[in-house]
Structure formats: C-alpha cells, structure tokens
Structure 1
Amino acid sequence: MDRFVVIDLETTGNVAAKQDKIIEVGIVVVEDDQITEEFSTMVNPGINIPPFITRLTGITDEDVKDAPTFSDIADTITAMFENSYLVAHNVPFDLGFLNAELAAIGKRSLGNPVLDTVELTRILFPQAPGFKLGILADYLGIEHDNPHRALSDAYVTAKLLIKLKHKVSTLPYETLEHLLKLEKVLKSDLFQLFSNRMEELAYQAVDEGEIIIHKGLAFRNVLIDKREAITVSSSYGDFLDSVYEEDGTMAQNMKKYEKRVGQRVMSEHIYDAFQTKKHALIEAETGTGKSLAYLLPTVYEAVRTNKRIVISTYTTQLQSQLLEHEIPLIKRLVDFPFKVTLLKGKQHYISVEKFANELHNHQQDNYDIALTKAMILVWLLETETGDIDELHLPSHGKLFYKRISADSEGRPDPTSPWYKYSFYQKARRRAQAADIIITNHALLCTDMFNDYQFLPSYDKAIIDEAHHLEETASKHYGLKLDYVNMQHALNQIGSIGDGNWLDQILFNNPSIEEKLPKDRWNDLLSLAKYEMDDFFRTIFQYVLDQPGNQKVLSDVGRIQYRFEEGKEQERYWNIIKEMATRIIFYLRDLIHFLTITSKALTDKNAIEETQLRIDILQSFIDGLEHLFLMDNDTKDVRWIEIEAYGAKNAVYLYSEPIHVATILAECFFDVKESVILTSATLTMKNSFQYIQKRLGLSSDRLETQKIPSPFSYVDQVRVMVPNDFPDVTYGNTDDFIHATCETILSLAEITGGRMLVLFTSYDMLKKSYYLLKESMESEKYVLIAQGISSGSRERLKKNFQTFDQSILLGTSSFWEGVDIPGDDLSCLMIVRLPFQPPNHPVYEAKSIAMKNIGENAFYDLSLPNAVIRFKQGFGRLIRSNNDRGIVFICDARIIKSRYGKYFTESIPQVPIAFNSTAELMKKALDWF
C-alpha cells in the first residue's frame, strides 16, 4: 500500500466525547512521495464556536453558517480513505473525531492502518526542539503559511510525512530490526514501512564509515581530536583592538553591532585578574553582553598559556546559548583556533552497553519505554555526545533512562569491549583536549567536594550566574533522601524470580544461586520495602500534625518542616528513630547478601554492577544515620518536605550546611589561581559585601567591578506602586489577591495582555489564577500559569509569545533566566517583594546561627537575598534598547518601609509613581 491520506481537522474543542464538533476539514493525498489530490471544506457544527477557538483559527460562526453539515460530506471523506493509510499529526485526535461524527450519523467507523506523524517524528527526528506542527515546520524548513487552518496543516503534515519516509530510507538494517520489534507497542502501523526498507538493505554491503555496528547495535563513530599548542602573537590590548575597533571583527561579524563600552571594560578587568592571580566579583547589568565579555579573555588566556579554563553556569539554557550562539561568534572574531567542550555529570550520558542489553528485554515494554527505545535507536546514529539532554523523552522514559545511563555502569573497565565506545569516557577525553570546558555549578561543586576527580585539572574559572553558587554548593555538600528514589533502587535490584537485575545475575550464574538462601533475600527485600513505606508514611503524618506556625509552604507547593534532635515530640520522634534503625538493619543484611554474591561472581561487569548497588544501599544507610541517629553539632540544617496532596509517602528529607563560606574558601578559592564570579545581580545598594561574605572570599585577593547597563531605563521604564492595596496579614490574603487580580485585568486592558506576573508563593499564584479565570469575560486573555498549565518553563514562555493577548503567571524559576524581548512583554507585575518566609527551614537555621554571634539576620541575610531576587525579577522587562514597559509592584513596603530604599537603590534609576490604583492606571494609559 503506497497511498497515504493526510487529514487535519479544526474543531470546537478537544474532546469528541463531550459533544465537540468538526468545523473544518483538510485532506491531502500522497502517492509516490508526491501530493496528488486535496480536499477542504468548512463544516457547520450546529453549535456556537467558542471565542478561544475563533482566536486560534480565525473561524467564526458566520464562516460556517452556510457550510455543509458533516453528514453532507461523510461519504466523500470515507471514499478518499479506501485502500490507504490514514495519516494525521496526532491520530487519536483526528480519527477520534471522525469516527465520533460517523457514529452519530449511523455510519461505520474507519479502520485504516494509521501513521501518527507526532509519534513518527519523535522516533525519526528525536532531537527536534518540539513536536508541534509549527515547531517542526520551522525545524525542517517546511513552509507553513496558515497555521491552525485545516488544509494548510494537512499540507504541512503531508510534507512532513515525505521527509519521514525519506529518513526511514537512511536507517541501517540493525536499527530497523530493533524498531520492528518495538512496532507492535506503538500507535502507528509501521511494519510495512520498516520491513520494505529492510528487504532493500538485505542485499547491500554495509559501509560502516560514520556508523559503527557493535553486537547488533548501530551508532555514530565519534572521533576525538588531540589538543594542539597554539601560539598567540598579539598582546591582549592589540587583540581587543582587533575585535572592538570600528572596522574590527565584531563590526564585521554582527549585523546590528552596537558598541558596548562596558563589555570591553569587563574583558580588561577579567584579563587583569588572570594576570595578577586574583579573584573577581563582577556585576554586569542587563545589556552588557557579559558572555562575550568573559569569553574573549578566557579564550585568549587559555590558548596563550596552553592551560584549560573552566566556565560554569547554573542553567542548561545558558550552556546552550554559549555553545550555539556565543562560541561560534567568538570563533569568527579571533584569528586563532581553540577547542571548547561541554562536560556534565555521568548521569547525563547514555551507556551504549546498558542500552544494548536492555534492547533485548521486552518484558517491560509499555508505550513510553518502547517509544524511548525507538527514539534512542535513531538518536545514536546522530549524536556526537551521547548527552540525553539532547532528547525530549516521554515522562516514563526518564525512569527507563536511569537504568541505561553511564551512572549505572559502576567503575569504568578499560578491558571491556564496550569501553572504547563509552560516551562518558569520550566526553572526558574531549575535556582533556579542550582549551575551554563548559560545565554546570552542580558538577563543579561535586568535583570540588570529591578531591577534584571529575573535571580535568584547571587553575582558572569563570562562574556565570554566580548568585547561585552558594545555594548549589550547600546542596552538594548536603544530602537528600526520598521515598521514590529509595524504593526505585530496591525495585531495580528486585527479588529472586521477578526477572529484574538480581534474578538475571543469578540466572546467568546458577552455581551461585544454589549456595544462597534465596527465600531469605526475598523476605528481607519485602521487609525493607514495607518498613520504608511505613517510615515515610509516619514522617508524612508527623509533619501534618505539627502546628501551622512551624511549617511553611514552599514556592512549588510543598510543606516544609525543620526538625532538630531534642526539640521534637519525644514519644513520636523515638518511634521514627526506631523505624530508621530497623531500615538500616535490613539494608545491612541486603548488602551482606550482595557482598557474598559479588565474591562468587567472575564476570567483571556483574561484579561492578553489584558493587554499584551496594554503594547505593550504603548511601541510604549513611543518610538515615546522619539525619536521625547522629547528634547535630548545629553545623547543618535538616528538614522534611511533603507533598500535601500527594501520596502519603511523598516525603523528601534534606540536610545542608548552615555556612558554606568556609568550605568554599578552603576547597575552592584558596586552591585556585583566579576565579571570576559574574552575574547581573551580585550587589545590594552597589555593595558586594553581602555576596563576598556568603561565598567566603577574602579581600586580599579580590577585585570588584560593577558594569552599568547601556539601556536608558529613564526613557524605557516606569515603576508604579499602589498606595491603596489591602495589607497582607498572616493567613488572610483574600482581599489582597482580589485587588491583585482586578489590577491585572485593568492593566491587561491597557497593555493588550503581554503581562508577566511574578509571585513569591505558589499558593497565591493558584488562587489568583482561578479567580482570574472566573472574572474574565469570554476568555478574552489567554491565561498561562506555572504549575497549572502543562509544559516546561520554556514551553509556557513560547505559548505566552504565541498568543497576542496573553498573561503569564510565574513563581520560583520565572524570576530569572526568562527572556521575552520586544513587544511580547509590556508589563511586569511583582506581586510581593521576594522575601523568604521567616520559618523557611534553611533561612530559619541560618538566622538562629547569625543571632548567636550577634549578627542581624534580617539585614545581613533576608534583605540581601530578597534584593538580589528582586533585581532578577526586575531584569525580565528590559532585554534590548527598544523594549519599553511598566513594572507594577503591588507591595507598598518598597516605599513605606525603612528598608524599601535597599530595593529602589539597587536597580537602575527610574521614575517611581506611588499613588492610588486608579491614578496609576491613568498614568499607565498615558505612558503607552
């Protein structure tokens, strides 16, 4: 069968079962990879079209008034599908609607073989940035003239299908063979498509070239270049002149080049710090172009001295920006070659050996796992890094991936036939050969606290997004235990007889099984799992029973409770300690059993894997002992988080050092030659004192510099603060939320939506979202809310930019790193000043420790933290010279309180209006 009929429908809603109806049909026929026929019509649904659908598609009630009903066109449509594949971008949606409409008029459902282009694209183009039709059209260079109209969408889907069929014709036999074994679990009927290609390949010679085939698995052959010493002849001053002069390489290579004085000044300060072996704190305000400012001296210095330099970022988003945009630009700006590589933790890299083993295990192949395996099979033919972050895995696919990451391999074995194909080892070799290693704060801190065994040696480092270093260091010096991970580890080991890891080990070594009391293992495992479940349920209830003033709601909606030995309810706390002791007892017995097994094994891989499982169980024992059975000498803070509306064992246990400054000084700043710490937000009232103290930087080897923004904030921004909002009293936020929502809708009328609203509390965000939903007439604005609307932060941001009249509500991660330039964002609302709640576990412990040595916890900790967070939020509005907008701050403390000036004097000088809400609305209208 080589006839493919592509269909796309526009409907009044998403659910056929809820009486939603078809309003437009677009059909395109593909034969011999050519579009041969088309059909399109409006359909009268017999019901009103919702405003949201009209806004999305442009189809109105007037457009469909004289259109045929579905029954008028049903025979024409079904005739087109005879002896054909039915193809759609999300088959369950389109086929579901078609069959519901056919059933409603008493006609037979369509039973064609189907191809779902969403599923097929996920498999064949696994590195696509997203799988919506518009995103794929951009990614694959397909013209998409009229999105959300049926015929246009059908045409794009047809052209996508042709590209997908072509991609199948490039796959090697081994990959297709594995895909065919997964086909029966997938939605699409792919058997003919794959088996036809396999028949063609069966008689062709294999040309390995770029592709390696090892033990039935095909993957890309990645070569590692050696490091070469390069000579740099010019002085640093001459080098910068060649870049920044009027006819320099910057002007030649950037279309809209604007000279940024601050950028060159920052570059010079960094180079000077490198030469004088000093550390530096550099605050580079928005618009400085700090990435280029630190890359130029870093590249020059690394190549000049032939010594690698590490660049560490907090977010993967900034890593991608550096690798995809800034580094290619730098390569055009400088006249000497250099090597840059990205190095992440082991858990980010796939183990081809583990994956090859899992491919033969089809017992647990549910849909998500089958799709994940299929995506990885094609991705392995393309990836140079083996970094799983290149893929958008389905949710359950992430759990499967844990089993096949390099982290699950144990210690490397150079004698293994798979060793030379290890992506993680190649990443390490690439890092050894690089001039610049880009990494993240998490791996930097892991390396720092483990005697520098993960990153190749380095003397100099750039820490971007440096305001996150203290928090990351605390997390990595601390510990975290949770029910899901502990149970997952036990389930992965498995009981004898269930087909999981231990069962397979013993099956492959029958002589060992005879010596082991297998019933004892199964009993021990069951008891450990039961005790663990009971333990976490007891903790969950213990936290729920605590008085309200001792708990705090985190910004993602979890209840947090700090615990201290000697201050808990003795009777109940002793029960929890006894339970922890029993779990440790069972875990030790399990370790003993695995140790006996390990000693009897002869296969190196099996021994390594067994040791890895032992190490994981031992880490659980160490964590439980630290949290519940050891005296706390007040050097760390311990707390519990629970999902209030989650499962009764949804519990997370944490421990972090109260002070990380001394640790950072001893492990990092004292042993490194020069560390440059930069961010847009390091100062409070133009002083670096706070961040310097928190990070443990001594003044004798420290340079500080503040680089002002090139933007004209006086002309681009107005700050407005209402003087008539209700006071927020503890436990009574309803009036304040009402006033906030009324103001959001009033401002939205003036700005046409295009608003980002930043909350400090997820609870307040949620209440505001539902109140806005209620208050909005006819869904005039598209309302997008973090934690309520589905999708990642990046996805929510893109949805916000897609619709003209949209309002985005965010908390936590939306305060920073979200770039929405130009007209997409005209108004930023800050609902409350971003103070942490005084009973937040980490803040509470730190403030007690500070009070004990006579420091002021509010002015020395809480206020600086809030100011830095506020500056991050403020920075969301103006991202270019052309941006213009309003920052509306609902919290009058910024004007009324004695500490308000710390906020206003920490941002660029801008006009601030403090007036009634009604007056501010007039000012906003005039401003726009």
Structure 2
Amino acid sequence: MQRQFPVSTAADILSPDHDQPNETIQSGYRAYLKHHGVNGRVGQKRMIADIARYLGAIQTNADGLRTSEDAVCVVEAGTGTGKTLAYLLAAIPYAVRLGKKIIIAAATVTQQQQILRGELPRLRAATAWPLQVELAKGRGRFLCLNRLELLLAGSEGLFPGLQPVSATGSLINTADSQLIEGFAREHYEGLLSRFTSRQWTGDIDSLDDELPNGLWQTVITDNRSCFNRDCVFFSQCPYFRQRAQIESADIVIANQDLLLSDIRLGGGVVLPALKDSILIIDEAHQLPEKALNHFSAFAGLGSSQQQLAEMKTRADAAEHLRVKDHKLEQRLGEISKHAVEAGELLRELWEWQQTQAQWPEKTDRFEQQPLLQRYEAGACPEPLRVLASKLSQQADKLQAALGDILSGIAQMLDSDGIEPDESERLQGESLGFSADQTYVETLQRLYHQIAEIPDESSRMVQPPIAVWWTKMSHDSGDLVLHASPTHGGSYLAEQLWQNAFAAICTSATMSDGHDQSASAFRRFSDTAGLPSASVFAVHESPFDYSQHCTLRIMNAKQRPGDSASYIAELSAAIANSLNFTEATLVLFSSRKQFTAVMARLEQLLDKTKYESMLSQLSAQPAQLIAAHQKRMSTGQGSVLLGMASFAEGLDLPGELLTHLIICKLPFAVPDDPVESTYSEWLQARGGKPFDEVSLPDAIIRFRQAFGRLIRTEKDQGRVTVLDSRLLTKRYGRRFIEALPRCRIQRFDPPLE
C-alpha cells in the first residue's frame, strides 16, 4: 500500500506558538477556502469551534495522559455542513500539539475510501500540511500467503481427512469444499501470480475480478491462526505491511467494526492505542447497534456437535505431536475428552429443548424467515442456564488445551534445523487447531452469556441478555441457540470512552430532532454509554429544503400491516407514484412487504416497465447502484427498489435521485428478539418502551431515509410517504418536526 502523503515533520503544521493550535486551525481554514474558491459555512465554522473548545479543555499530566474526567464531544451536523473537513481541521493541530494520533472510525469500508480520497487530499492540497495517512483494515481483507501456499501444495496438514474449515472456524460445506480442488487451483495460482508480479497488493478491495463463492475465506487467516514473525512470508505479508505503515501514520482511517474488534482483542492490536489517540467516530449513530452485533453469538446444536467431532478426529490424528512432546500428548487427550463431553451436553440440551419447544405455527408471515422461540424479558429457564454453565466450562477447557497445542507447535516451528516438510505439516496443523480455537471462542461467548444470567431476584438490576432459539421449519433444519446483550452502553463506556484520550462522535442523525438540547440525544447517550460530562451540539443543514423539497403524505385508508387490502392499496399507490423518466428510490420496511408488493406490481404495471425496475430482491446493492447510475448518465429514467441498507449511506446527488418513496415508518419489527426483550424488561421496571426506545429509534431511521434525497445545495425533489400515521397518530407530528422544514402536501390513495 502506498502512503498517501509524503512523510515530514508533523509539528510543522502548527503556528510558531505551539500553545495556540487555534491559530493554525483558522489559518488552515482560510487557506482551504481560498485554494478551492468556496465560501465558509456557518454550521461548519461552529462545528470546528465545538471540537476545538472540547480538545482545548482536556487536561493532561507530565506523561501526556488525560487527567480530566471522561467526556465525549457529540456533534450532529446536517447534510451539507461539511463535517469531515470540520473535524479534520479542528483535530489535526491539537493532535500535533498533544503528540497524539488521530483514529477516524467510519461506518463502512466505502466511507473509509470516501474520506481518504475526498477531504483529506483537498485539505493537504490547500495547506501543504505534512500528514501521513493510512487506511486500516482487518486481517480478513488481506490474502494470507502462507495459507495460499499450503493450499497450492495440497498440504495434508491443513485439513487432514476432514471437511475444510474457514479462517472463521466454520465448516465449509461439501459443495464449497470442492473449491480446494479442480477449478480452485486456477484461481489460487491467479492470486499468487498477481501478487508476486505486483499487479495486486493482496487486498480484497483492490481485486478486480470477483472470486467464486467461499474461495476468499479459504485464503485468509485471523489473529489466532497467524504465525506473525515466525511465518516465512512475514516480510511480504500484505497485512503486516499495512501494520508497519499504520505505526508511523499521523491519521489512521478505520471502520467501526475494526475498532470494536481491536478493543475486543485488548486494544492497540491493529489500531494505535486509544490512550494515545484522538478518536473520531463518523456516522456514530450506527455504533451502539454494531457493538451489540459484536457481542452477540449463536451456534447450531447439530453443527456444534459436528464441529466437536471433527476437532476430536483432528486431535486423535496428530500422532507425531504425541511422540514429540509428552505435554502435547496430554493436551491432545484433553481435547478428545472435552469434545466428547461437550457433545454429550449438547445432546442433553437438544433433548431438553424438545420438551420445552413452543414454536409458532408456520404461516405466511414466516415464509421468508425461520421459526423463533424467545424467552420473555430475558427470563432464561434454570435448566438452560445450568447446561450453559457446564458447556461454558467445557469450552474453557478446550480453549486452554488448544492454546497449549498451538504454543507447542509454535515452539517447534521456531526450533533450529526443522525440515521444510515438517514445517509445512506443522503449519497446516496449526491452521486447523486455530480454526477450532476460533469456533470454541464462539461457544464460550454464547454459553458464558447465558450461564451468567442472574436469577429472578436480581434480574431487574441490569439490562437483560436476550436468549432465543431458531429453526427453519418444524420438520427440518438445525436447532440454533442465540444470545445477545440488549444494551451495549456499559461496554462502550468501559472499553472505549474511558480509554480514549479524546473522542468525537458525529453524524447527521444522533438526536430525535425535537430540539437542539442534550435531551434530544437521550437515546443515543444511553445506548452508547456516553459519560455524564459529554458535550452536545446540533448544526442544521445549510440547504434550503423549503424551496427544494416537498414532503407528500398519503391519507391511506388501510392500516399498515400484512393484510391483503393494505398490500393492494400500497402497491397501487407506488404504481401511481412512479415516473419512469426520472430517478426514483423506493424504500420498503421488510423483505416480506417488498416481496408482496413486487408480486402485485407485476399485475399493475406493463411488462416492460416492471422488468426495467432495479430490485434488491434480485441483485446485490453495488450492482444495482452501478446500473442506476449508468441509466441516468445516458438520459434514461431509473427506478431503484430496496430495503434498510439503501436508507443509510447511499449518496445519489443531483439527477441521480429526484423522488424518494418511503412505504412505511421504520419502526423495528415487533418480533425483533433483542428489542423485544429489552422493551419487556424496561416496562417491568416502570419504563415506557414505545416512548423511550421504539419511537426515538424510528425517528432516527426516518431522518436517515429522508436524507437520501437532498445531497447538495442544488438538489431538489420530493419525498412521498405512504403511511398515514404521520397524520393520524399523536406521534406523527414528532416525525415531521424532526425533519428540515419543507413544503407538505397531502394526497388520497388512488382509486382501485
């Protein structure tokens, strides 16, 4: 990976008086405006001042460590404010003065690239600030040369007589296992050829061709499987080349998932240490949900038994390890023993669950999703907690034994005079046991959470753990057990905010929009675990929505739901609203609604128009957006239909989007196991789940969806909402007031 800017003395950024970084901020902003011939924005100036004031108030000791109380600077900046430039201009001079690095945690890899290729080069061009900037990605984005070499060599040690295992520890199914042979070799050789000829850096995001399904998972590794400096390919490793560049970087651009993974590993593993960094969370409204996803876990009882059986077979087959080391012989025996005992406990758990199962009837509602059984308010039955405790103990013992096996193999690989064939065999076995260790870690996370659920007498003290079962049907499919925290605030408080030297959260939608006070951030503050001393600011978009945007609300007759009459009215309204000569985005609330409406539209629209629509049901988002942009660039119209993933982060400025249709207010589905569990617990404590959880979350999602339309100051168009609850429910006004001021029109549904 090439460094983006030349290395120089970062201190040169500051004005001659190093105690006055605000002077550098002001001169940098003036230089930027002059160089690019643009005018300053009021909201942008205020955001710069907010962040500079926050950073300037931090107190430190002689070692440069923060001594002032934990606090986060939270700035909501409407679309068009220019928040990226604002936080860069404010943070860079302070980071240089304080001797800190800057970590920018974007929402996605795509946004990382936008920051890297957007405002940073523009700022550098205007100021000549000598910054070294690096993009940080996890191991899963990079080719593992050692694993590729073993696959090409056909190493028996990699998957010794077993079904192949991916780097994540999951079994590769029989169909995908054929990738190891036949046509897969051609792809493997192609990857190696491109890398060695320097046509490719080893980064999946820079690979031109799409790989067959499942193949990339076979050529990556994780922190457990990686040999680090003991690997023969260490000096060529794409991942460690990135790491070396990150260590000397002034600014590191990561994403939120990588940040959460890094702190789960103990911090400072992939990214700079938080105590030495100014942390900027962009699109911060996504952080609490991402945190929950990182600490949730699930495992099928059947697939776990299979994995444990494979683990036992692997341990029993490692005869030469037993010969080389008595301690390893003992540990291999322990793996076999505990794998069998864990398997017996899983069978006991399966039998118990069969006697307790209360699966819902298979109706149309569940046609596209598995059956689900959940424990209300997190009230997990004692027999399940007891079995989970025993399984967690077995998982701990397996993890300890696997750790010793891997340490022993590492020592053998580090010994002098080891033969190449033996080294290759040991490395292959290490990869297999590392994959086992990764899978056992999932079992630990799952069963530890359930085992630690308190009894009824103390269940109301802390937010509950949601526990539920799923299976695809009454008659088939694995029985899958899930567990997830329902609230990640305490974890973020302990692992993120307490450790970071400084932290800045920014997004266009973190508040519920009812005013600009700290109370509007109550839901975000709670779910993100923000310290009490945190500071908040809101800066509205500079765009003139009153002139450029019309909000159209349908006086629907049917109540939103799954009824045939509602789907018929909704479908007719969509068909009547579509103009196939312009750029339209239709957002659905669920796959079920999407599928039902598409079936109806096939009857309402002529064949040519129906088949011209770009539907997320039939293609990947990136392909759809590319096709949409191509159509619009050639003067055609385009209708894009999607779900929640299109309601956030999608940037279609100008003529790429002039009509946005929102089918339904984005309340969470009523059977979401995590939100339902938390809401029941909250209500039992005397809280109001709808007002405190469902409504603010829906308003934030609605504001995000609305924000897809106006992306630049010249954009104009209309937003059509096909949900009359905006007009008929007491909370409807809250949704409207949370939006920028725009023209509002009401209309009746079309006659059937």
Normalising TM by the smaller chain, what interval? 0.7 to 0.9
Name 2:527's counterpart in structure 1: 694
* Deviation of 1:482 (Å): 5.1
* Deviation of 1:639 (Å): 3.6
1:437 aligns with 2:255: no
Name 1:602's counterpart in structure 2: 412
Contact 2:584 2:661 survives alignment (8 Å) = yes
Name 1:622's counterpart in structure 2: 444
Name 1:676's counterpart in structure 2: 504
Name 2:742's counterpart in structure 1: 910
Contact 1:830 1:888 survives alignment (8 Å) = yes
**Highest Rg: 1 or 2?**
1
Contact 1:559 1:644 survives alignment (8 Å) = yes
* Deviation of 1:678 (Å): 0.4
SS of the counterpart of 1:409? coil
Name 1:99's counterpart in structure 2: none
Segment drifting more, 658-667 vs 454-463: 658-667
Partner amino acid, structure 2, of 1:801: Q
Partner amino acid, structure 2, of 1:437: V
SS of the counterpart of 1:764? helix
1:365 corresponds to which of 162, 178, 181: 181
Name 1:466's counterpart in structure 2: 284
SS of the counterpart of 1:273? helix
Partner amino acid, structure 2, of 1:261: V
Segment drifting more, 616-625 vs 828-837: 616-625
Contact 1:536 1:649 survives alignment (8 Å) = no
| Distance of 1:647 and 1:326 partners within structure 2 | 55
Contact 1:789 1:796 survives alignment (8 Å) = no
* Deviation of 1:866 (Å): 0.3
Contact 2:147 2:221 survives alignment (8 Å) = yes
Bigger relative contact order, structure 1 or 2 (CA pairs below 8 A, ≥6 apart) = 2
Name 1:173's counterpart in structure 2: none
| Distance of 1:552 and 1:425 partners within structure 2 | 48
Name 1:737's counterpart in structure 2: 567
C-alpha spacing 1:590/1:707, structure 2 compared with 1 (3 Å): closer
Name 1:193's counterpart in structure 2: none
* Deviation of 1:667 (Å): 2.6
1:780 aligns with 2:606: no
User: For residues 308-457 of structure 1, what are the structure 2 equivalents within 5 Å?
Assistant: 308-361=101-154, 364-368=180-184, 370-379=186-195, 381-382=197-198, 386-391=202-207, 394=210, 396=212, 398-407=214-223, 409-410=225-226, 412=228, 414-454=229-269, 455-457=271-273
Segment drifting more, 801-810 vs 769-778: 801-810
User: For residues 111-190 of structure 1, what are the structure 2 equivalents within 5 Å?
Assistant: none
Name 2:538's counterpart in structure 1: 706
| Distance of 2:394 and 2:99 partners within structure 1 | 53
| Distance of 2:627 and 2:341 partners within structure 1 | 45
C-alpha spacing 1:691/1:565, structure 2 compared with 1 (3 Å): closer
C-alpha spacing 1:887/1:487, structure 2 compared with 1 (3 Å): farther
C-alpha spacing 1:638/1:690, structure 2 compared with 1 (3 Å): closer
* TM-score, normalised by the number of residues in structure 1: 0.64
* Deviation of 1:716 (Å): 1.1
1:284 corresponds to which of 62, 67, 77: 77
User: For residues 12-161 of structure 1, what are the structure 2 equivalents within 5 Å?
Assistant: none
SS of the counterpart of 2:482? strand
Segment drifting more, 425-434 vs 704-713: 425-434
| Distance of 2:353 and 2:295 partners within structure 1 | 25
| Distance of 2:575 and 2:289 partners within structure 1 | 36
C-alpha spacing 1:641/1:424, structure 2 compared with 1 (3 Å): farther
Name 1:860's counterpart in structure 2: 692
Name 1:181's counterpart in structure 2: none
1:252 corresponds to which of 35, 46, 55: 35
SS of the counterpart of 1:309? strand
Q: Deviations over 1:312-352 (max 9, x none)?
A: 11211110111122222221122221111122233333222
Segment drifting more, 272-281 vs 531-540: 531-540
Q: Where do 5+ consecutive residues of structure 2 fail to align?
A: 59-70, 156-177, 415-425
C-alpha spacing 1:871/1:553, structure 2 compared with 1 (3 Å): farther
2:716 corresponds to which of 884, 896, 913: 884
1:266 corresponds to which of 47, 57, 67: 47
1:799 corresponds to which of 622, 627, 630: 627
C-alpha spacing 1:582/1:696, structure 2 compared with 1 (3 Å): closer
Name 1:563's counterpart in structure 2: 375
| Distance of 1:543 and 1:829 partners within structure 2 | 44
Partner amino acid, structure 1, of 2:248: A
Name 1:873's counterpart in structure 2: 705
Segment drifting more, 447-456 vs 386-395: 386-395
Contact 1:553 1:560 survives alignment (8 Å) = no
Q: Deviations over 1:849-877 (max 9, x none)?
A: 32233221111111110000000000011
C-alpha spacing 1:620/1:335, structure 2 compared with 1 (3 Å): closer
SS of the counterpart of 1:451? coil
SS of the counterpart of 1:745? helix
C-alpha spacing 1:597/1:911, structure 2 compared with 1 (3 Å): closer
* TM-score, normalised by the number of residues in structure 2: 0.78
Q: Deviations over 1:545-588 (max 9, x none)?
A: 5236999969x845554336996799xx87x9879968986996
* Deviation of 1:512 (Å): 8.1
SS of the counterpart of 1:350? coil
| Distance of 1:877 and 1:538 partners within structure 2 | 53
* Deviation of 1:441 (Å): 1.4
Supply the RMSD in Å over aligned alpha carbons. Answer: 4.4
C-alpha spacing 1:485/1:356, structure 2 compared with 1 (3 Å): farther
C-alpha spacing 1:693/1:882, structure 2 compared with 1 (3 Å): same
* Deviation of 1:719 (Å): 0.9
1:655 corresponds to which of 483, 508, 514: 483
Contact 1:270 1:297 survives alignment (8 Å) = yes
SS of the counterpart of 1:907? coil
Name 2:99's counterpart in structure 1: 306
Q: Deviations over 1:406-463 (max 9, x none)?
A: 5463453x35443333333332222221111111112222333443242222342111
1:790 aligns with 2:638: no
* Deviation of 1:786 (Å): 5.2
Segment drifting more, 648-657 vs 720-729: 648-657
Name 1:39's counterpart in structure 2: none
Partner amino acid, structure 2, of 1:465: E
Q: Where do 5+ consecutive residues of structure 1 fail to align?
A: 1-219, 922-928
Partner amino acid, structure 2, of 1:374: G
Aligned residues: 681
SS of the counterpart of 2:13? coil
| Distance of 1:418 and 1:849 partners within structure 2 | 52
